[in-house]
Amino acid sequence: MNFKKELAEILFEVLEGAISLHDLELLIEKPKNQAHGDLAFPVFRLAKIKRKSPNVIAQELREQIQSPTFEKVEVVGAYLNLFLNKKLVSEKVVNAIINKKNQFASQNIGNGSNVTIDMSSPNIAKPFSMGHLRSTVIGNAIALIIEKCGYKPIKINHLGDWGTQFGKLITAYKLWGDEEKVKQNPIKELLALYIKFHEEAESSPSLEDDGRAWFKKLEDGNEEALTLWQWFRDESLKEFSKIYQLMNVEFDSYAGEAFYNDKMDRVVQLLEEKQLLVESDQAQVVELLEEELPPCLIKKSDGATLYATRDLAAALYRKENYNFAKSLYVVGHEQSLHFKQLIAVLTKMGYDWAEKMVHVPFGMMLKDGKKMSTRKGKVVLLEEVLNESIAMARHNIEEKNPNLPNKDEVAKQVGVGAVIFHDLKNNRMNDIEFSLEEMLRFEGETGPYVQYTYARACSILRKGKWEAVVLDHAYSTSWEKEWKVISLLMEFSTAIKRASENFDPSQVAKYVVDLAQAFNKYYAEVKVLEESEEQKARLALVYSVTVVLKEGLRLLGVQAPEEM
């Protein structure tokens, strides 16, 4: 159902190859102004080749385009404006959706190949902050979108469960910790200890050395260190799983940094064999001079490993176990240097698959224009935000639809949907200033707006007793009033494809808002349930919209209640 391609092929024939098929497809555009038709072809390029005025060329072309797909071809200046045959196209689209249901717009670009997605990755013993929300939500949406395009996503929660921070935490716990208090409120207590550590370290820098020493012990298998670490980890995971359940996110693997503890020797060995390891200030590094990057630190002067070491081990492990076609890292953009180094080192090691690794960066969640810092206790907790959002949704239901049967369930879907959608609707590179007010807005370009549109459409179908039978006959409508909605329905697969290629869920979020807006306008203009011979066609349109809105929201990780 790609009419752009169809037009390109017609033009290619007519022009006898003056412009390649590929270029033609790029030149054909979708006019912003509906009065300019559904597709347009600017002929400037031809004017140069043919040495005729653009307007003359356009006039000539108009005569030569003969296809039932286009009901009208107009020339305006140097533009060829084409109008699709509304009846033919609309019925094609609507029937395709009725037949394929949620499989509509599914594609098989990926051919079932594996794509690993490193995402979420919260730090153990720290609260799940708004910052981690972004990686979780973006990663989850990318997984769903690429799956729709025929890839097999493998979601990996690369838990931050290893590193010097645990040495610091153990130090702090041994100095000031209270077992009972930690048991009662693990995350909160551990966070308090972590903050206290950094406060105290300001005046007594030797604490930092103690922290590093404890981490070294942990890495060397010291029993006391390991027991504490295991305890912190278990408690943290319990807390995290509550949030993941709330957001409906699941993982294929929880192999975090600690998982690679026994796999790092091999990396170091490989680097040595390839003579890439250099000593520098008692530390082991890989120089990246030709790449014009700073050196990548592999081992600290005390022999302990670093972030990069673990990520190298993880990359090797993932390649060997999942044989990925692509390996994505949904991690904040402040870490882009790290990933450049990582890929550079792997390339130096001779692994050509390093080029299949992609850092998918995103902007930061800011508070008062500044980065949030766990060390200074400047965090906003995701769980609190989600709960507030759910409460707000619940309040709205009480006000607007008090007879709704499953209020709590719907409040959860709407509240959580609002938070997720708010994160996904804009380009992921934009920094987001944290604002509860913004997040809890349920009007305009928001998740609840789209959900509400879906609920209204579902309501029409219920009352209109719509049954999705496969219809092989024509509808008695001209599809004039429906056209805006139809032309958007056609674009669903394009939006998905773009989102998948650019790892950019906001393409789908924007699409779904556009469709909801178009439908709401239609809803205000046309009374579907009024008896008319056009009703069957209109119900088919409403049904099509519900299918696409629901699927679009699903691809973002947002649920769609049928009533709200």
Partner RNA sequence: GUCCCGAUAGCUCAGCAGGAUAGAGCAACAGUUUCCUAAACUGUAGGUCGGAGGUUCGAAUCCUCUUCGGGACGCCA
Phi, psi of 25 (to 5 degrees): -60, -35
Give the angle 303-309-315 at the CA atoms, nearest 5°: 160
At its nearest, how many Å lie between RNA and the CB of residue 363?
6
At its nearest, how many Å lie between RNA and the CB of residue 119?
14
At its nearest, how many Å lie between RNA and the CB of residue 106?
19
At its nearest, how many Å lie between RNA and the CB of residue 323?
25
- Taking the least distance from each CB to RNA, the nearer of 106 and 520 is 520
Q: Give the residue from 154, 150, 59 showing the smallest Cα distance to 116.
A: 154
- What is the C-alpha to C-alpha distance for residues 277 and 292, in angstroms, rounded to an integer? 17
Give the CA distances from residue 112 to residues 120, 142, 491, in Å, rounded to whole numbers and listed in that order: 24, 15, 24
- Taking the least distance from each CB to RNA, the nearer of 38 and 91 is 38
- Taking the least distance from each CB to RNA, the nearer of 185 and 230 is 230
Give the CA distances from residue 153 to residues 146, 298, 457, 462, in Å, rounded to whole numbers and listed in that order: 7, 29, 32, 36
At its nearest, how many Å lie between RNA and the CB of residue 346?
17
Instruction: Please tell me what DSSP assigns to residue 29.
Output: B
- Taking the least distance from each CB to RNA, the nearer of 183 and 527 is 527
CA 230 to chain centre: 32
Give the CA distances from residue 326 to residues 146, 153, 351, 500, in Å, rounded to whole numbers and listed in that order: 11, 10, 14, 12
At its nearest, how many Å lie between RNA and the CB of residue 435?
8
Contacts of 75-80 spanning 24+ positions with Cβ under 8 A? 76/36, 78/42, 78/43, 78/44, 78/47, 78/54, 79/36, 79/40, 79/41, 79/42, 79/43, 80/40, 80/41, 80/42, 80/43
Six-digit token string for 266: 């091999």
- Taking the least distance from each CB to RNA, the nearer of 76 and 192 is 76
- What is the C-alpha to C-alpha distance for residues 50 and 298, in angstroms, rounded to an integer? 62
- What is the C-alpha to C-alpha distance for residues 218 and 430, in angstroms, rounded to an integer? 38
Half-sphere exposure at residue 41, Cβ-oriented, CA atoms within 13 angstroms:
32
At its nearest, how many Å lie between RNA and the CB of residue 467?
17
CA 204 to chain centre: 43
- Stated as kind and residue range, the H or E segment containing 358 is strand 357-360
Contact 363, 431 (CB under 8 A): yes
At its nearest, how many Å lie between RNA and the CB of residue 179?
25
Six-digit token string for 58: 């356009």
User: 3-class SS at 71?
Assistant: strand
At its nearest, how many Å lie between RNA and the CB of residue 438?
7
At its nearest, how many Å lie between RNA and the CB of residue 343?
14
- What is the C-alpha to C-alpha distance for residues 521 and 451, in angstroms, rounded to an integer? 16
- Taking the least distance from each CB to RNA, the nearer of 186 and 415 is 415
Rg (CA), the chain: 28
At its nearest, how many Å lie between RNA and the CB of residue 140?
19
At its nearest, how many Å lie between RNA and the CB of residue 184?
27
- Taking the least distance from each CB to RNA, the nearer of 292 and 320 is 292
- Taking the least distance from each CB to RNA, the nearer of 152 and 411 is 411
